[in-house]
């Protein structure tokens, strides 16, 4: 149940906590080795904060982060070093994330220095190797970031993330800043590298059509909570949560004769510092019932591997029980 609250400071000294922004509010899930788990939701739903908290770039308020069986939640920066090599991040905006005064070679090499690889020749071999894998030439390595296009800069960001041979990569909107034609090149590259390095991805995106093609399982977030989690086929064919249904209804039809009604959400996304009572989606939900206003739904498994938090559904166990009762 990972949680990240940001205190909103106020008062004369600025030290009194007036309120808390529940950016990530009790999210719990597992990313399986070798898979690509997509996390979707509107901007401000806590996806990026969650990603940064999993990597401990932000310290969680409560909850646990387990990496390959090791609880890394309370490790010091020093003890985290061992895991940093194995857990990397690719950011949305390649330009903002690259130091404008550093040559590409230095940018890609830097993590190796931080991880204590002292042999300069060894670092050089590795930089060349990874540059080639992402499609950068040796000549390009001696240029500065501003000399590259958005797609090329994202290749540089990917090279830097890969240099330490990580196992797990969080990609936070890695193609959102790119033209559609470039997006698929970068995604194809990421997929090739996944095979090459046996990578596990947590792929954060607001774009449902991108995650549809790239991910194996998908989690939908709303106001800091995971509201649905399942494999992509069940999400796109039978989303359970009304919020997920409305997000999906805005996608273009896959065939012209597909029956699909667009569900238009009313109301704005409420502030995470003052979320609605009960189900936080209730003021915007087309299926809202009386119970939804006061009682928060729990995140349950409705069908095998298909989770949601919504009062419209019962857990698998309960379903089995009720079927048994009926047959008695
Ligand atoms: Fe809608 Fe109620 Fe389900 Fe929330 S719990 S999504 S308000 S039906
Ligand atoms: Mg974000």
Q: What is the ipTM of this complex?
A: 0.97
- Closest residue CA from atom 7 of ligand 1: 282
Q: 82: CA distance to ligand 1 center in Å? A: 42
CB 279 within 8 A of CB 290: no
> What pLDDT does residue 45 have?
87
Cα 287 to Cα 274: distance, rounded to the nearest angstrom: 22
CA of 55 to the centre of ligand 2 (A): 15
Q: What angle do CA 218, 224, 230 make, to 5 degrees?
A: 20
Q: Is 161 helix (H, G, I), strand (E, B) or coil?
A: helix
Instruction: Tell me the pTM.
Output: 0.90
pLDDT at 274: 85
Of residues 100, 96, 99, 101, the one with CA closest to residue 111: 99
Q: Could you give the 3-state DSSP secondary structure of residue 228? A: strand
CA dist., res. 176 & res. 156, Å (int): 16
Please give the pLDDT value at position 18: 54
Please say whether the beta carbons of 24 and 50 come within 8 A.
Answer: yes
Among the bound ligands, the one closest to the CA of 206: 2
And the tokens for 18?
């007036």
Neighbours of ion ligand 2 (CB under 5 A): 48
CA distance 105 to 122: 14
Q: Using N-to-C axis directions, what is the helix angle for 150-162 and 104-114, rounded to 10°?
A: 20
Helix (H, G, I), strand (E, B) or coil at 71: strand
Residues of the chain with pLDDT under 50: 11-14, 323-328
| Spatial distance between the Cα atoms of 108 and 163, rounded to a whole number of angstroms | 7
Report whether residue 278 contacts ligand 1, using a CB cutoff of 6 Å. Answer: no
**Is the Cβ atom of 113 under 6 angstroms away from ligand 1?**
no
pLDDT of residue 9: 54
pLDDT at residue 325, rounded to an integer = 46
CA 324 – ligand 2 centroid, Å: 45
Burial class (CB in 10 A: 0-12, 13-18, 19+), 254: exposed
Burial 48-71 (b: 16+ CB within 10 A, else e): bbbbbbbbbebebbeeebebeeee
Centre of ligand 2 to C-alpha 15, Å, is 27
Q: What is the pLDDT of residue 123?
A: 97
Q: Which domains does the chain have, with CATH numbers?
A: 2-215 (3.40.50.300), 239-328 (no CATH)
């Amino acid at each position: 149940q990972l949680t990240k609250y940001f205190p909103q400071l106020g008062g004369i000294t600025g030290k009194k906590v007036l309120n808390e922004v529940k950016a990530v509010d009790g999210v719990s899930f597992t990313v399986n080795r070798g898979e690509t788990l997509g996390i979707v939701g509107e901007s401000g739903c806590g996806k990026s904060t969650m990603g940064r908290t999993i990597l401990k770039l932000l310290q969680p308020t409560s909850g646990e982060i387990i990496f390959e069986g090791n609880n890394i939640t309370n490790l010091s920066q020093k003890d985290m070093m061992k895991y940093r090599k194995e857990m990397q991040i690719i950011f949305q905006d390649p330009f903002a994330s690259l130091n404008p005064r550093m040559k590409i070679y230095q940018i890609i090499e830097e993590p190796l220095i931080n991880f204590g690889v002292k042999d300069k020749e060894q670092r050089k071999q590795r930089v060349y190797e990874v540059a080639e894998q992402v499609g950068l030439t040796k000549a390009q390595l001696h240029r500065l970031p501003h000399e590259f296009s958005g797609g090329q800069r994202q290749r540089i960001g990917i090279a830097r993330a890969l240099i330490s041979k990580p196992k797990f990569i969080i990609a936070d909107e890695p193609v959102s800043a790119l033209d559609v034609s470039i997006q698929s090149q970068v995604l194809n590259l990421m997929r090739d590298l996944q095979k090459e390095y046996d990578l596990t991805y947590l792929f954060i995106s607001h774009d449902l059509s991108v995650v549809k093609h790239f991910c194996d399982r998908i989690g939908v977030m709303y106001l800091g909570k995971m509201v649905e989690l399942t494999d992509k086929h069940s999400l796109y064919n039978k989303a359970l949560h009304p919020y997920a249904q409305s997000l999906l209804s805005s996608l273009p039809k896959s065939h012209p004769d597909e029956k699909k009604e667009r569900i238009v959400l009313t109301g704005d996304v409420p502030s995470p510092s003052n979320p609605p009572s009960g189900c936080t989606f209730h003021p915007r939900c087309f299926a809202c019932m009386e119970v939804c206003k006061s009682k928060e739904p729990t995140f349950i498994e409705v069908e095998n591997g298909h989770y949601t938090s919504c009062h419209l559904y019962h857990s698998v166990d309960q379903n089995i029980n009720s079927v048994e009762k009926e047959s008695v």
